[in-house]
Amino acid sequence: MTRHTTVTLQLQTQRLTQDENGYNVWEKITEKAALTPRNTAVLISDMWDRHWSRGAQERSVQLAARINRFLHAMRGIGVHIVHAPSDTMAFYEGHPARRRLLDTPVAAQPTPKEYPDPPSPIDSSDGGSDTRETKEEIVWTRQTPSIDIDPDNDVVAGDEGSFIYNYLIHHSITRLLYCGVHTNMCVLNRSFGIKRMTRLGINCVLLRDLTDSMYNPAKPPYVSHEEGTRLVAEYIEKFWCPTASSNDVTSR
């Protein structure tokens, strides 16, 4: 396995400032961050084999292929890979990647920090399906087989933020990169999500080109599905953590 010493990310955040006329404006800030692969992990959120929403399912199929290519590149330079398909741990009982997570020593968790938590910029109160399904139900049984799990190196978790935190601390992981679905729901709000891990002091990054939201354009702010996802990424940049593009990740 080829391993390099650093990975460079182009991190994008936004801050509230004033323009030359004294009006409040959001300013985008981009800066480079050099990361050591052995201290970096990628978390794949809820990329299931099936979804109750046809639109969500179709987009996840396309997203899975891109995520898998990215994971192979990251795994090849020594980055840790955490698969988190919630509600499916029965499928992974006895799997080496599952046992590896469960065998990780317990770490003491700090008191979560307080952060402002403004409401989401998109309304997903109808479940977020843009293909008219309204019955939200668990139809998934495993992570999509389109995303490979390396039994010798990866770990598998459910909605188990404490176990994942143990793993991060045990391996001195200082940066956690998020991909998968759904940006405005699980990626942000699961026990392993950006909000929780940021509150625990983990440096999180959303890979904005490897995620998708649950959003129906028939709901506010009445924009396209793609624009809804972009608005959530900008919300994360403003209030929670930087974003980056998987295309900007380079090895040095």
Phi, psi of 109 (to 5 degrees): -95, 135
Look at residue 131 and tell me if it is in a domain: yes
Residue 37: how many CB atoms within 10 A of its CB?
19
* Domain with 150 in it: 36-109+126-251
**DSSP line for 136-159:** ------SB-TTS---TTT-EE-SS
Q: 33-59 pLDDT, tens per residue?
A: 998 999 999 999 999 999 999 999 999
> 0.85 cut: is pTM over it?
yes
Look at residue 217 and tell me if it is in a domain: yes
Q: What is the mean pLDDT of residues 12-27?
A: 97
Six-digit token string for 143: 């992570």
pLDDT at 249: 76
pLDDT of 9 above 50 = yes
Look at residue 142 and tell me if it is in a domain: yes
**DSSP line for 210-221:** EEE----TTSTT
Average pLDDT, the chain: 95
pLDDT of 88 above 80 = yes
Q: 176-234 pLDDT, tens per residue?
A: 999 999 999 999 999 999 999 999 999 999 999 999 999 999 999 999 999 999 999 99
Look at residue 138 and tell me if it is in a domain: yes
The CATH code of the domain that includes 143 is 3.40.50.850
Six-digit token string for 13: 């955040």
Look at residue 222 and tell me if it is in a domain: yes
pLDDT at 1: 42
Look at residue 191 and tell me if it is in a domain: yes
H/E stretch holding 49 = none
Residue 169: how many CB atoms within 10 A of its CB?
18
Strand 40-45 versus strand 80-84 pairing type: parallel
Position 6: which residue type?
A: T
The total of structural domains in the chain comes to 1
Six-digit token string for 181: 């679905």
Q: 123-182 pLDDT, tens per residue?
A: 999 999 999 999 999 999 999 999 999 999 999 999 999 999 999 999 999 999 999 999
Six-digit token string for 62: 């396309």
Look at residue 232 and tell me if it is in a domain: yes
- Distances in whole angstroms, Cα of residue 36 to Cα of each of 10, 74, 87, 172, 175: 15, 11, 32, 11, 9
Distance CA 190, CA 235 (A): 17
Cα atoms in the 13 Å half-sphere on the side-chain side of 159: 11
pLDDT of 2 above 90 = no
Instruction: pLDDT band for 248, please (50, 70, 90 cuts).
Output: confident
Q: Are 165 and 200 in contact (CB under 8 A)?
A: yes
pLDDT at 3: 57
Q: What is the mean pLDDT of residues 108-115?
A: 96
Residue 149 CB burial class (10 angstroms; 0-12, 13-18, ≥19): buried
Phi, psi of 130 (to 5 degrees): -100, 10
Phi, psi of 93 (to 5 degrees): -55, 125
pLDDT at 34: 92
Name which of 219, 109, 85, 207 is nearest 162 in CA terms.
Answer: 109
Q: Are 207 and 183 in contact (CB under 8 A)?
A: no
Look at residue 121 and tell me if it is in a domain: no
